[in-house]
Amino acid sequence: MDDDKYIGHLLEEMRDELRAVHELVAGQPTRVEFNELVRNVDGLTQDVSVLKVAVADLSQDMKVVKAGVSDNSREVADHGHRITRLEAA
pTM over 0.75: no
Please check whether residue 29 is in contact with residue 37, taking contact to mean a CB–CB distance below 8 angstroms. yes
What string of pLDDT tens digits covers the 89 residues of the chain? 688 899 999 999 999 999 999 999 888 988 999 999 999 999 999 999 999 999 999 999 999 999 999 989 888 888 888 899 888 87
Buried b (16+ CB within 10 A) or exposed e, 44-55: eeeeeeeeeeee
So where are the chain's domains?
Answer: 2-88
